[in-house]
Structure 1
């Protein structure tokens, strides 16, 4: 336990002054309600507290949630797990996706943001949210309205930093430009899907993040459970895999690419004495603009395995093998003949605005 705390590194979140651990704990497995989240976890608050215990002892201080995780029950479980030690942790949560059939319970209007934040604060049992993120882009609401609502929460001390999740490049840049023009808080984080079998983030969002000082918080680093090492060429998914029931709800993955990547991961895992998930996460930690990788866990064993992804480094030759096997040519106009490559020379976590 103590060794993990020493090995955990901390990085600035984008161009902000907030220091976050290179690994964060996602709470999608807390509470376990509904057709999706019920496949991931349980409603046992004691287990959630035990997971938080292990994370804090390992130096993981950032915990990520959302109002749609088990209909808010995940936030409640996280708040209960942090009771009495709130000051030791950073809480990030997300709002914006529909949480009911009521049209007022979706989007990022001023009303939805302020009401959603107040409800999240009550569920979490806290007086502030360290990082509040919009869970998706709401085309029906002016970006200026969303930004002004977030500004009000920041001014009241209820929110410390703001970010977004799952935005396209033009959506994020439009909001950043509006924030600069109106002198409102800038988004310092972008929670994105990024993995060895899903490198689309690199094509447009990564260079934007490097230029604008937006740190990546990576969700699903193991590609919806596909990079655990248990899914191999010619073999069916293991019986416990949630892919049987939830694959269609996550990011699509090319099967041949997956098998090729897992073959290389397995070889490097054997060379290093690590596991396939640890190698996959370690590769992500070396990527430009990545501030923290959000690792979810179904149980204590899985959490401890994920924590083993830090404190060591892949060799340049191993990184090159993973880069090569996972490479996918981006489409026009981001193909090699048209895109800028300067961001590839950045060493994380360097940002143009730092």
Structure 2
């Protein structure tokens, strides 16, 4: 079997991708430093898949250790790179922490593989800012980042594109996610935010179960159908399957160039108030929410054109917003009885 390295493999998207890679017949090796995840996720993956994934605890910012690790695993034919700090607010408060971690980890990996591997990079729709045209396509201009976190994604994409231009043996796919939510249908893995959630759906589930107070809807005066901000929410299992499709495309040498970019979303915008309504209807749980002022840095509305992903990756999001909300709720209930 082809062996894939998954960095940040015990994180939210990483753990789901490990499961889907296993389901697709790949052998997987995980690395993580547990800075934003739990070692217990390894046991959860084992319960879901029946296999114990090969794992090494590793700080990817440690160049010597990364070089030694890659040298010891010549069988790796591809990398899916999730490992990065990702909290927008924290990045504003601690920009140096974000630039150090997110760049050093990427550069050390590229050096270790001598810029010769199949590489899937975890990027973000934040590179678009507030698009001039919706739905936003991959050819839309990249706008000035709203945060150091967003800037690390923009600069990393630029770095990868420039390295690909002089390294024909490096094949990179940058996947620009919209808003990943939901959890595995087993309810054994899901989003595990440290502290107060920065994202809407985990705050909703924690509020519903009694861990948080009322939900604040930041703004109801946007130029959207109900006044609240609109995003493209995508189920994490659909997102994980897209990474498998990206690795298969690279492995089979079907990429048109050695640097490609794809949007990953549903192609549909959903407002904050619609998310709240979907959660209540799909779970039977009534939510307590208030309307607050707009939050600085938030874009009004964004959703993706996913035509290119459907055509070239042969992938399409299948799970709707009701499945997203009910699976996230099932995960939250599991955590209440099985705290991490």
TM-score by length of 1: 0.34
TM-score normalised by length of structure 2: 0.35
